[in-house]
Chain A
Amino acid sequence: MADVGKTPVARNEKASSEFGYVGIDAILEQMRRKAMKQGFEFNIMVVGQSGLGKSTLTNTLFKSKVSRRSVMTTEEERIPKTIEIKSISHVIEEKGVRMKLTVIDTPGFGDQINNENCWQPIMKFINAQYEQYLQEEINIDRKKRISDSRVHCCIYFIPPTGHCLRPIDIEFMRHLSKVVNIVPVISKADTLTLEERDFFKQKIREDLRANEIDIYPQKEFDEDAEDRMINEKIRAMIPFAVVGSDQEYQVNGKRLLGRKTRWGTVEVENTTHCEFAYLRDLLIRTHMQNIKDITSSIYYEMYRVRRLNENNTKPNGQPAIHANGVPEHEVLSHEM
């Protein structure tokens, strides 16, 4: 191993490292090895009215039956009276990389007659996950690796009306964009022609801007020029118009996922038909780590600061910060 220092890649060595090299880039390999052993975690929440294709889309995204519908033994088609939060975890593996994927479904959202405050149970759930993580973090005997149940990303399904965002959409996104990464998608996009789609997207973007709703990728979290360039391209395309399907059809001699109708077959992964591939690339192939980082370093930190300040206000009104930030045991209301 003595001449392992000489690598075939010719490099202009700096004056300080005369010959051979130190080998600090091997730390990347060490990190990678460790990461592969540990595995990753990703928690994704899907929100939208029933019938918009949430379960189908999650199945399509991860190419396996991970949604709530696939796990339920009987098809319960009833609309629940209140919003329920159901989370289902699967461990999926690809090329040696293991990921614990948790899909959090919210049946009952927006389905009642009176939908006021329908975001509150969801907000409470998200804050409860932050709280749980915080409690683990300030524990005296901390676990080596705290299992991360914080919601990393929330996909919001917009029905393809073709006009503009509805009040419930705006209310929900306004409240939740402050605590979680929101990725809105236009669901069942096979009912819109391309012109209608572009018009709808433009209207949605205007509505979001008018209501100051910051969806992922947020402008203010761009780190450098390279990131900004990539993210600007994405921002010009959101919300993605998606079609989900878990059935395969034969098209031009190839088997593809799609929806077969009398007038043709909608191919899910064809970028001229719908933007599913872009959504998948964004969420999984390129920005997954970024999503997790924003959740843990920005949203979680905001929650933590709020909690610490709530519990440490002294009688004379000045905030006093204990060095270990131990909050009181009574849980205060977290709703905004």
Chain B
Amino acid sequence: MLCYFCASLMIHIRSVLKGQFTQSFILQNLYNLLSSIKFLTCDFQDKQYVGFATLPNQVHRKSVKKGFDFTLMVAGESGLGKSTLVNSLFLTDLYKDRKLLNAEERINQTVEITKHTVDIEEKGVKLKLTIVDTPGFGDAVNNNECWRPITDYIDQQFEQYFRDESGLNRKNILDNRVHCCLYFIPPFGHGLRPVDVEFMKALHEKVNIIPLISKADCLTPNEVKKLKDRVRDEIERFGIKVYQFPECDSDEEEEFKQMDKELKECTPFAVIGSNTVVEARGQRVRGRLYPWGIVEVENQSHCDFVKLRNMLIRSHMHDLKDVTCDVHYENYRAHCIQEMTSKLAQDNRTDSPLPLLPLPTPDVETERLIKMKDEELKRMQEMLEKMQQQMHEKDQ
């Protein structure tokens, strides 16, 4: 009887609120409402209630106290709007005192890696956001291997985390691994250029790549569609593994599934960024003012900025971090260990430096053989150490 009442109440409230607020907000409030009703009336239900359903909340509390961190890398040629997009995404102004180099200075410029960190807090949740920028990428006349400093940087972060994780004091490990890389494709061409293909292929096994079509306000809707199809085809043709959205469970809500489908069909996102606020349709919005009209950044019919922001921050941030930890980092670690043990056996030294570039992935059979050989080598190494110790004792 009580359950029936609750259910009908829920349906009523849901229909009232559905028009305005997000699913999660509705559910959160419904849950609060229902738990307060339950507290007042259901005494007999308490008997059946053990209470470990509060576990997610307990984990929740701890994470809120600790705060989160996220490292985002932006890569692409100069002038594609990377800094502006980052500012628009996180509503910050990270690049206030920037000095742009002129053409002569850029001829022989090497790619730098710069890091900006900003702490954002919203509704009690703290996020330490690190933006890794790559000024100079693709700017020189000869861009051979211009992605090398970037791959080295990513590997360095993996190596540092690997050392920390294998060390003795693991209390406060700083996680500087790059969780996501936004790659900016210029809209002026007809799809991917050779440097785009090579860059993405060098990085797709180390970091989650999300390709974006930048400065999309110079394209008409048809051109955008054609370019997206073209880029998608080329990505598939060249075998580039960009970040894939995880599949929805069958028991997820319909709205969520619909959103997910739309996201997948929209990649690569065509984005526009803006640092300025303009007046449009009586409201103040972020946008770009042209004589022929105003481009609104947050307008879904103008560009995919909102989709990108929702995907990056509101729905897939955690998944990006998970894929980095579970897939890219584990790959790196496996290669590292294998390289180390084979090198140790060769040199018979215990202090070899870790290599920065991992080997290509061997297949399953080879991996098994390598593992067997590794264990053999480890045993031999231990025997050698014991013999050394015995000799040392004999000498004394």
Contacts and interface: CB of A to CB of B under 8 A. Distances in A.
B249 interface: yes
A1 interface: yes
B283 to A, nearest CB: 9
Interface residues of B, number: 83
A73 to B, nearest CB: 26
B53 A94 contact: yes
A309 B168 CA distance: 9
A97 B56 contact: yes
Nearest to B371: A140
B257 interface: no
A322 B309 contact: no
Contact of A28 (B49, B64, B89, B392): B64
B9 to A, nearest CB: 18
A17 interface: yes
A27 interface: yes
A141 B310 contact: no
Contacts of A53: none
A22 B121 CA distance: 10
A321 interface: yes
A290 B330 contact: no
A20 interface: yes
A22 B56 contact: no
Contacts of B367: 141
Interface in A18-65: 18-32, 34-37, 40, 42, 61-63
A286 B318 CA distance: 25
B interface: dominant SS: helix
B190 interface: no
A124 B55 CA distance: 29
Contact of A23 (B43, B53, B162, B310): B310
B5 interface: no
Interface string B53-65: 1111011101110
Interface string A203-221: 0000000000000000000
Nearest to B391: A315
Contacts of B24: 26, 29
Given A8-B21, A22-B91, A25-B124, A329 B54 contact: no
7 contacts: A8-B20, A14-B121, A18-B277, A26-B317, A31-B59, A99-B52, A320-B350
Interface of B: 20-22, 24-25, 43-44, 47-56, 58-60, 62-64, 68, 89-93, 120-125, 127, 162-163, 166-168, 170-171, 249, 259, 277, 284, 298-300, 306, 309-310, 313-319, 322, 326, 330, 333-334, 336-338, 340, 350-351, 354, 367, 371, 374-375, 378-379, 382, 385, 388-389, 392
Given A20-B298, A31-B318, A32-B59, 7 more contacts: A1-B300, A22-B89, A22-B309, A63-B50, A99-B52, A256-B47, A285-B51
